[in-house]
Copies of this chain bind each other. A is one copy, B any other.
Amino acid sequence: MQSVDRALRLVDRAAEAGPEGLTLNGAAEALGVAKSTAFNLLKTLLAHGFLREERPGPRYFLGMSLMRFGDLVAQQLPVAEISRPLLRELTAVTSLTSRVAVVDDGCPVFLERVDGPGTVRFHAPLGCREAPHASAAGKAILATYDEDRVRTICKAEGLVPHTRLTITDVEALLADLEETRARGFAIDDEEDAEGVFCIGAAFTDHQNRCLGAVSVTGIRAEASASRVLHIGQTVREYADRLTQELGGRIAQLPPPSLGALPRPVGRR
């Protein structure tokens, strides 16, 4: 479905363009089509509110419909729905940004976020596959898998470095996962972003199979070793509560296949 494909790719481009916005020529060039073609695509997306036009010198941005639908997605996913009050509590208790992710091919996909009171903003996108080896949620998930499966996932994803502390060696990762199991929660100590730490713990279904992870994010400098341990216990506790509350409604579980999941855009 060529034209639909192109239209949806335009939405992607608009997302990447960010606050700069997308121009007609830019859109045409990005798709490799004639200007008039891009024009028609843009107008159709506009009519449905998938894009928003700002004048003068028409620039195109992500539209309001996407906000509306995005909001609905979260409401329709049982895990997001159930975890929301827990995340709010967790953030209230720890004063940290907390999130919940479900697992997709070993990678965490974040579904819900509750921002902490801090003024610092974390770039914590929703709906993206995150690196399993460089995030607390990812490592919490991997820690529930056996060695073979971890190796397979690592081979598929590649242990790409995000910071100078990112674990890029499989053996080192396996050792870290061993510690994680012993501890009961995973620690990301500036392995995903400089100056940022995360703590994550997995939640499971009634058969003890990993469904995803809960995690909190904060400023590394503000976290002493003892505080990290204490926070870890708390996160562990909330992940367990989520496991239990999920137990009731196992009927609708997070989908085994989440569809085509892009990498985060605009990462720095």
Residues on A close to B: CB < 8 A?
A: 1, 3-5, 7-9, 11-12, 15, 18-19, 40-41, 43-55, 61-74, 76, 84-85, 88, 109, 111, 115, 117, 119, 125-128, 252, 255, 257-262, 265-266
Contacts of A55 in B (CB 8 A): 257
Q: Decide if A8 touches B70 in the complex (CB within 8 Å).
A: no
CB distance from A29 to the nearest CB of B (A): 19
Contacts of A46 in B (CB 8 A): 259-260
Q: Decide if A48 touches B5 in the complex (CB within 8 Å).
A: yes
Q: Decide if A127 touches B64 in the complex (CB within 8 Å).
A: yes
Q: Decide if B49 touches A259 in the complex (CB within 8 Å).
A: yes
A123 (CB) vs chain B CBs: closest residue = B75
Contacts of A44 in B (CB 8 A): 1, 4-5, 8
Per the bound structure, the CA–CA distance linking A64 and B128 in Å amounts to 8
CB distance from A254 to the nearest CB of B (A): 10
Contacts of A128 in B (CB 8 A): 64, 68
- Known contacts: A1-B44, A5-B44, A70-B73. The answer to whether A258 contacts B126 by CB under 8 A is no
Per the bound structure, the CA–CA distance linking A237 and B250 in Å amounts to 45
A sample of 7 inter-chain contacts (CB < 8 A) reads: A5-B47, A5-B48, A11-B69, A15-B72, A53-B259, A62-B73, A88-B115
List 7 additional contacts besides A53-B255, A55-B257, A69-B70; criterion CB under 8 Å. Answer: A3-B4, A15-B72, A46-B260, A64-B127, A67-B73, A67-B127, A68-B126
- Known contacts: A53-B257, A84-B115, A88-B115. The answer to whether A126 contacts B73 by CB under 8 A is no
